[in-house]
């Protein structure tokens, strides 16, 4: 007997609802050479503009979620052999919850509102004996805080909330402490230079993707050849003859192409040594991506490796988000990749787009105009900033329940690409 309408609805309502998506982001921490030292992994709530705990209970819940995320998503691997910094609450320290994290790669961040009472200090001592390292977050001198200093391996000072005299006062307070100083929220290269002069060892913020000079008139020859290849693969129809000719002129790309086509991924019975044949076997889609990886590898020389990863993550994220935004995935991949080219080349964006056969609306978006082409990248920026309420702005919308998966997959793809950069 068929169920009645009401009973069918009852059955549907009884079905368990899918678990909410897990959200997190990461921000790099650099050394003085602008090489990645580690990452801070940040809790992200899918239901509000940014995470700001209203109670200790909410903070503890966020910490528990991040510890669970670390186990599920292997933050140790996502830290790319660096340190993984995670915020801790008083309860997570006292309960030993954080011992689920690997001691060799984890830095426990003691947030500014934790008091250094005897229970907390005893817990820190026990964790120190297990091999954990500690960071004091948003540090500002106050009575009693010196009790944390013997445990501190890193101390973070917020550049947005301090000036030079305030930071000098903090350094005087820290005299005799061997902790490494981290300049946090460093947004401009000028601030990076100031932090270096003031004695900071590590730096966190977006300064690394804002170059000092964007006015070079000449692009190095090998970079120019790569841009010509990028222009050729950007055309709707592949001109195989033209592309083969350009590839022949760039030895590093020839090598990558032949390595790829002769790899186990293609399981060919015979090796291929012809550029023309290799292009046909690899096909348009994979060759476009090979060019993207090669470009970031070549242009990324002398730049932080994190910058290369971000370029590739942007490309991958935009490509995947394109289907949700009714955009062309191929064009979106290229757009995401090109968005960081001015930094990788130290060349203004207008100079770059003038050399590429892009649609006018794509060029406008790259130069900074708000339009439909830039929506996917805008979604990525808002996700990383925790601006959930803005994901639907300007006609752009990717379901927050899907955003985390797109972010995670694009991040892992960028990691895989940069891990095999020498191939």
pLDDT in tens, 57-106: 566 677 777 777 777 667 777 777 789 999 888 888 998 888 888 899 89
Is residue 216, in this structure, part of any structural domain at all?
A: no
pLDDT tens by residue, 53-71? 444 556 667 777 777 777 7
pLDDT tens by residue, 320-347? 999 888 898 878 887 888 888 887 777 7
> Residue 24 pLDDT more than 80?
no
Residues 318 and 247 placed together within one structural domain of the fold: yes
Residues 196 and 272 placed together within one structural domain of the fold: no
> Residue 275 pLDDT more than 60?
yes
Residues 178 and 291 placed together within one structural domain of the fold: no
Q: What would the 3-class secondary structure string for the chain be? A: CCCCHHHHHHHHHHCCCCCCCCCEEEEEEECCCCCEEEEEEEECCCCCCCCCCCCHHHHHHHHHHHHHHHHHHCHHHHCCCCEEEEEECHHHHHHCHHHHCCCCCEEEEECCCCCCCHHHHHHHHHHHHCCCEEEECCCCCCCCHHHHHHHEEEEEEECCCCCHHHHHHHHHHCCCCCCEEEEECCCCHHHHHHHHHCCCCEEECCHHHCCCCCCCCCCCHHHHHHHHHHHHHCCCCCCHHHHHHHHHCCHHHHHHHHHHHCCCCCCCCCCCCCHHHHHHHHHHHHHHHHHHHHHHHHHCCCCCHHHHHHHHHHHHHHHHHHHHCCCCHHHHHHHHHHCCHHHHHCCCHHHHHCCCCCCHHHHHHHHCCCCHHHHHHHHHHHHHHCCHHHCCHHHCCCCHHHHHHHHHHHHHHHHHHHHCCCC
**Structural domain ending residue among the three candidates 150, 183, 209:** 209
Span 163-184, mean pLDDT?
93
Residues 68 and 203 placed together within one structural domain of the fold: yes
Higher pLDDT: 141 or 238? It is: 141
Residues 188 and 253 placed together within one structural domain of the fold: no
Span 248-262, mean pLDDT?
73
CATH of residue 303: 1.10.3210.10
Higher pLDDT: 330 or 423? It is: 330
Is residue 137, in this structure, part of any structural domain at all?
A: yes
Of 41-55, 317-331, 362-376, the poorest mean pLDDT is in: 41-55
Instruction: Give the chain's domain count.
Output: 2
| Maximum mean pLDDT: which of 39-48, 163-172, 223-232, 269-278 | 163-172
Residues 285 and 330 placed together within one structural domain of the fold: yes
Is residue 234, in this structure, part of any structural domain at all?
A: yes
Q: pLDDT band at residue 199, thresholds of 50, 70 and 90? A: very high
Mean pLDDT of the chain: 77
Span 148-155, mean pLDDT?
95
- pLDDT at position 423 is 38
Is residue 6, in this structure, part of any structural domain at all?
A: no
- pLDDT at position 217 is 39
- pLDDT at position 37 is 92
| Maximum mean pLDDT: which of 72-76, 189-193, 227-231, 397-401 | 189-193
Residues 171 and 302 placed together within one structural domain of the fold: no
CATH of residue 170: 3.20.20.450
pLDDT tens by residue, 371-410? 999 999 988 887 777 665 555 544 455 666 778 888 888 9
Q: pLDDT band at residue 214, thresholds of 50, 70 and 90? A: very low
**Structural domain ending residue among the three candidates 209, 236, 251:** 209
Residues 307 and 199 placed together within one structural domain of the fold: no
Residues 35 and 88 placed together within one structural domain of the fold: yes
Higher pLDDT: 356 or 45? It is: 356
Q: pLDDT band at residue 109, thresholds of 50, 70 and 90? A: very high
Residues 272 and 333 placed together within one structural domain of the fold: yes
Higher pLDDT: 411 or 214? It is: 411
Is residue 13, in this structure, part of any structural domain at all?
A: no
Is residue 16, in this structure, part of any structural domain at all?
A: no
Query: What is the residue range of 118's domain?
Result: 24-209
Q: What percent of the chain has pLDDT over 90?
A: 26
Residues 96 and 198 placed together within one structural domain of the fold: yes
Is residue 237, in this structure, part of any structural domain at all?
A: yes
**Structural domain ending residue among the three candidates 180, 209, 238:** 209
- pLDDT at position 14 is 45
> Residue 12 pLDDT more than 50?
no
Is residue 15, in this structure, part of any structural domain at all?
A: no
pTM tops 0.75, yes or no = no
> Residue 148 pLDDT more than 60?
yes
């Amino acid at each position: 007997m068929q169920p009645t309408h009401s009973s069918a609805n009852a059955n549907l309502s009884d079905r368990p609802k899918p678990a909410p998506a897990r959200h997190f982001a990461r921000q790099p921490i650099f050394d003085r050479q602008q090489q990645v030292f580690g990452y801070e992994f940040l809790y992200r709530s899918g239901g509000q503009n940014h995470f700001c705990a209203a109670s200790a209970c909410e903070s503890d819940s966020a910490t528990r979620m991040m510890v669970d995320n670390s186990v599920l998503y292997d933050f140790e691997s996502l830290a790319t052999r660096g340190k993984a910094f995670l915020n801790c609450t008083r309860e997570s320290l006292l309960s030993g919850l954080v011992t689920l994290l690997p001691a060799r790669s984890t830095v426990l961040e003691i947030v500014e509102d934790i008091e250094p009472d005897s229970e907390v200090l005893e817990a820190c001592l026990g964790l120190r004996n297990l091999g954990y390292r500690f960071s004091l977050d948003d540090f500002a001198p106050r009575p009693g805080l010196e009790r944390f200093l013997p445990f501190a391996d890193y101390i973070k000072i917020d550049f947005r909330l301090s000036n030079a005299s305030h930071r000098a006062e903090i350094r005087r307070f820290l005299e005799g402490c061997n902790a490494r100083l981290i300049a946090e929220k460093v947004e401009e290269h000028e601030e990076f230079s100031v932090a270096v002069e003031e004695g900071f060892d590590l730096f966190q913020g977006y300064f690394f993707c804002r170059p000092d000079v964007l006015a070079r008139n000449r692009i190095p020859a090998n970079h120019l050849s790569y841009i010509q290849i990028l222009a050729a693969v950007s055309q709707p129809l592949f001109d195989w003859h033209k592309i083969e000719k350009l590839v022949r002129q760039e030895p590093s790309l020839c090598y990558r192409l032949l390595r790829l086509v002769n790899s186990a991924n293609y399981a060919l019975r015979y090796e291929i040594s012809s550029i023309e044949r290799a292009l046909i076997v690899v096909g348009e889609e994979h060759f476009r991506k090979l060019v993207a990886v090669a470009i970031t590898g070549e242009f990324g020389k002398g730049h932080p490796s994190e910058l290369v990863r971000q370029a590739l993550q942007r490309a991958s994220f935009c490509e995947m988000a394109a289907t949700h935004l009714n955009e062309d995935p191929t064009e979106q991949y290229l757009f995401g990749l090109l968005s960081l080219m001015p930094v990788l080349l130290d060349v203004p964006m207008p100079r770059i787009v003038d050399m590429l056969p892009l649609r006018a609306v794509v060029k406008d978006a790259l130069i900074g105009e708000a339009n439909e082409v830039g929506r996917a990248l805008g979604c990525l920026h808002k996700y990383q900033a925790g601006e959930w309420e803005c994901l639907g702005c300007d006609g752009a919308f990717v379901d927050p329940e899907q955003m985390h998966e797109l972010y995670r997959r694009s991040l892992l793809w960028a990691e895989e690409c940069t891990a095999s950069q020498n191939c």
